[in-house]
Structures are given as structure tokens and as C-alpha cells.
Amino acid sequence: MFKSSLCAVVLLLSTPAAAKNPLFENVFTADPAALVDGDTVYLYTGHDEAKDNNVFFEMHDWLVFSSKDMKHWTPHGAIMQAIDFRWAKGDAWAAHMVKREGKYYFYTTVRHKDDKPGFAIGVAVSDSPTGPFKDALGKALVTDDMTKQTPNDWDDIDPAIYIEENGDVYMFFGNLMPKYVKLKDNMIELDGEIKTLDLPKFTEAAWVHKKDDNYYLSYACEFPEKICYAMSKSIHGPWEYKGILNEIAGNSETNHQSIIEFKGKSYFIYHTGAVPPLNGQHSGGRFRRSVAIDALNYNADGTLKRVIMTSE
Ligand code: FUB
């Protein structure tokens, strides 16, 4: 007994005192989407409120935090609630923010009211990265009846936007079957048909980024989810599967990533359920997730080094 207590004390003292992952200790955060805007990173997250880890996601609004060094984060509160989309009845699931010509466009997943049941993607707009945001279209951009390709009604979740150097805008999204569609220059209407992609083991959480002349499409794969990725020389593919980028995120079952380059460094931002009790009440888990950040490193051939969660 004494020996094991001593071991515990030694372990405690040798553990870094100021562990920085997960990022926020007083609120559960999930589905990160980061936007680099000048010398600031804005980090948008979902907001897990579930009291019981065995029920389901309880998410009403989205939060935003900002940082100039990726270490110190300023909370700015909620940017909007799911029901601010008047055609939605709740469920503030995963989102993505982009900036275009001085305006901030927030693409996000919500549950549609019963006239178009199932999940839907909406888009909101603001002149400021911290809001207030308003529904830009007054109706959903994508509804479940437009994508009925899987047995569930959430095959149209998790939007991720990519803006090409020539200004063309694409939205990637989907569950089980990955999809993408071009958007019009006004950012709030589809421009053409929704196409499907062939990505092995795809579950959800698509994210596209580019480095040098390589496009990267990372996504949550299998279940419980890891993050996998594919590479291409064109936004239209073909996408070549490259393997696992990040292993299962603790006990959360889902994982969801955002990849950015900021002040010369690349970052992999994701969520994990493996966190100690927040507010002394609840520990992390499937429906109580927390955002974490680690460095993203590239190999000489452009492939990505696997990200291992650190506590700093
Ligand atoms: O947070 C709700 C859902 O869980 C997201 O839409 C998925 O990506 C998964 O993280």
C-alpha cells in the first residue's frame, strides 16, 4: 500500500504541472474548426452539455475562442444557437468558418424541423469573427432529402469549406458517404450537383487543406473513429488514401479535426473524451468531449507524420 502511494506521488511530481491538453477546463468542447485571420486564430467549437455519458449528444450552441500564440485563449462566448436558424429545431453539430471579402461565413450542421426531417447544413454570416451571426439564406443550404444515400438521416453533416486560389469555393461534407459540391461566388448557394467521393473507411468530419502543391483530405474513419487522410494534386481528386493520421481519441468514440498553418507552424486540432472531471462534476467521454492541439509535421515526400496526443 505504502509503496504504491509513494509511486503515485513520484508520478505526480514528475508530471508537468501545467498540462495544456485539453485546452479548456471549464467547458466541454468538440468538433473544432479553426480560422486564421491575420495575427489571430479563431477557434470555433461545438459545446457538449450532456450530463449523462450514455444518452446522446446534447449541443445547443457554438463557442469561439481566440489566440495570438496558440497557447493563451480568450473565450468570446457563443456565436449563435442552432435554433437561430428558424427552420432548425436544434442540435448544434459540427461547423466550419471561412472569411471571404471581409465577411465571415459559418457553415454548420443542425437538425431540420419536421417539414424536411433529418439533419441539414445552414450558413450564417457576420462582419465580425465573434459575431453576431445571422442566417444568411433563411433556409437550409443542404437538406437530408438532397442526399438520401445512406440509411441514416445524418448523411449531410459536417461541412468543410475550401477556397481555391482562383476563388472557386467547394464544400465537402457527409457521413458514411463523402460528398462535395461547388458553391456560388455569393457563398450561400450551391453551384451544380453534389458529387460523391471514394474514400476508404470514411465516417465523417472531412477537412481539406493544401500545402505546397498537395491537397489533403483528412476525415474521421471507422468507428470508434480515428483520423485518416488522402492526398491529391487537384481539389477534384483522384484522392490517394495515405493511412491513419491520428488514433482513437481517448474514450470519445468520435474524433474531429481541423488543420491550420499559423505563424510558420502547422497544427492538428481535434477532440478527445479522455479528460478529467470539469468543474469537479463530470469527466470526459462520448458526449463530453474536449478540444486538444498538437503539432502537425510533414515528411519530405509531403505525407503526414502520425499525430500522437501530448499533454502540452
Ligand atoms: O458533435 C456531433 C457529431 O459528432 C459531429 O457532427 C461529428 O463529426 C462527431 O464529432
State if residue 95 touches ligand 1 by the CB under 6 angstroms criterion: no
The helix/strand/coil state of 11 is: helix
Closest-CA residue to 162 (of 132, 182, 186) = 182
User: Per the structure block, which three cell numbers stand in for 64?
Assistant: 469561439
Q: Ligand 1 centre from 71 Cα, in Å?
A: 25
Find out whether the beta carbon of 28 lies less than 6 Å from any atom of ligand 1: no
Which of 204, 221, 288 most suits a substitution to test ligand 1, by most atoms within 8 Å of the C-beta? Answer: 204
Active-site annotation holds for 31: yes
Q: Is the CB–ligand 1 distance for residue 256 below 6 Å?
A: yes
- Band the pLDDT of 279: cuts 50, 70, 90: low
> Does residue 17 belong to any structural domain of this protein?
no
Residue 19 within any structural domain of the chain: no
Q: What confidence score (pLDDT) does residue 32 get? A: 98
Q: Compute the distance from residue 109 Cα to the ligand 1 centre, in Å.
A: 9
Specify whether the CB–CB gap between 95 and 44 falls below 8 A.
yes
55/167: higher pLDDT = 167
Flag whether pLDDT at 177 surpasses 80. Answer: yes
Residue 5: pLDDT over 90: no
pLDDT at 9 over 50: no
As a whole number, the mean pLDDT across the chain is: 91
Quick: pLDDT tens for 97-108.
999 999 999 999
Which ligand 1 atom is nearest residue 91's CA?
2
Which tops the pLDDT comparison, 265 or 5?
A: 265
94 lines ligand 1 (CB under 6 A): yes
Q: Is 11 part of a structural domain of the chain?
A: no
Nearest by Cα to 270 from 284, 255, 282: 255
Domain count, the chain: 1
pLDDT at 272 over 60: yes
Mean pLDDT of 151-173: 96
Residue 205 has pLDDT above 90, yes or no: yes
pLDDT in tens, 140-154: 999 999 998 778 899
pLDDT at 280: 66
The one-letter amino acid at 215: Y
112 CB-near residues (< 8 Å, 6+ apart): 87, 88, 89, 118, 119, 120, 140, 143, 144
ipTM confidence = 0.99
Active site residue 240: no
**pLDDT (0 to 100) of residue 13:** 33
pLDDT at position 312 is 65
Q: What is the CATH number of the domain that holds 154?
A: 2.115.10.20
Residue 98 within a domain: yes
Residues in Cβ contact with 291 at an 8 Å cutoff, skipping those fewer than 6 apart: 22, 23, 24, 29, 30, 32, 43, 45, 269, 270, 271
Cα angle 61-139-66, degrees, rounded to a multiple of 5: 35
For residue 147, give its domain range.
29-305
Lowest mean pLDDT among 159-163, 201-205, 251-255: 251-255
Q: Which helix (H) or strand (E) holds 42?
A: strand 40-48
Residue 56 has a pLDDT of: 92
The candidate with the shortest Cα–Cα distance to 202, out of 172, 170, 162, is 172
User: CB neighbours of 270 closer than 8 A, spacing ≥ 6?
Assistant: 32, 227, 246, 249, 255, 256, 257, 258, 291, 292, 293, 294, 307
Q: What pTM value is reported for the model?
A: 0.92
Examine residue 10 and state whether it is found in any structural domain, yes or no.
Answer: no
SS3 37: strand
For residue 253, how far is its CA from the centre of ligand 1 (angstroms)?
10
Query: How far apart are the CA of 94 and the centre of ligand 1, in A?
Result: 6
CB atoms within 10 A of CB 17: 6
Q: Is 181 strand, coil or helix?
A: strand
- The mean pLDDT of 80-88, rounded to a whole number, is 98
Is pLDDT of 14 > 50? no
CB 245 within 8 A of CB 307: yes
Q: Is residue 282 part of a domain?
A: yes
pLDDT digits (tens, 9 = 90+) for 208-249: 999 999 999 999 999 999 999 999 999 999 999 999 999 876
Q: Is residue 23 part of a domain?
A: no
For the chain, what percent of residues have pLDDT higher than 70?
92
Residue 290 lies in a domain: yes
